[in-house]
Amino acid sequence: MAAGTITLRQHGAIDTGGTQATNTGGGAGEFIGANLNYVTIDCGAAVNAKLGITSGELSTVPRIVEAISAHATVVVANVPADDTQWVHMIVEGPVNQTAAEYQVTVRALGTVDSVNLSAATVAIRADFRGYHA
């Protein structure tokens, strides 16, 4: 491995919204903190330029993060450069919300910085590959 290279590996399985499963790939002390859950949001329009503050208001992605943060701690939020209508999040749980409940939360934001979120779709994934597929 080259100097400065970081390799991420998941040891064992992490149950979505539950407790950490038996660690099958490493020592018992490797996981600290609550379970990680992976949330993807299809905003229906490009949000890669909607990352900051516009006219004194939070833009689309920060508003989505704020809304999801009411139910779980958002650890990472990302908009892939090659699929700009998606927001990928890693949240710390346990998550007491279903994908449908998150979807209601996101859709309730309505139009934020010219992006209409009223038809956004949300999925909770078992793993994080950096893509929604």
Give one DSSP letter per residue of 30-82, joined into a string.
Answer: G--SSPEEEEEEE-SS--TT-SSEETTEE-HHHHHHHHHHTTSEEEEEE--TT
Pick left, alpha or beta for residue 88 (phi over 0 → left; psi -120 to 50 → alpha; otherwise beta).
Answer: beta
**Does residue 13 lie within any of the structural domains?**
no
Beta bridge partners of 91: 37, 74
Structure tokens that stand for 70 in this block: 């009411």
Residue 25 domain-assigned? Answer: no
In a domain, 29, yes or no: no
CATH of the domain at 114: 3.30.70.100
Residue 68 lies in a domain: yes
Counting the structural domains of the chain, the total is 1
Please say whether the beta carbons of 90 and 124 come within 8 A.
no
Do the domain assignments include residue 12? no
For residue 6, how far is the Cα from the chain centroid?
Answer: 21
CB 106 within 8 A of CB 65: no
Q: Is 95 inside any structural domain? A: yes
Q: Is residue 63 domain-resident?
A: yes
pLDDT, tens digit only, all 133 positions of the chain: 455 544 444 444 444 444 444 444 444 444 566 778 889 999 999 999 999 988 889 999 999 999 999 988 999 999 988 889 999 999 987 667 899 999 999 999 999 999 999 999 999 887 766 555 5
Q: Is the pTM of this model over 0.75?
A: no
Asked if the structure places residue 75 within a domain, the reply is yes
Q: The domain containing residue 93 runs over which residues?
A: 34-125
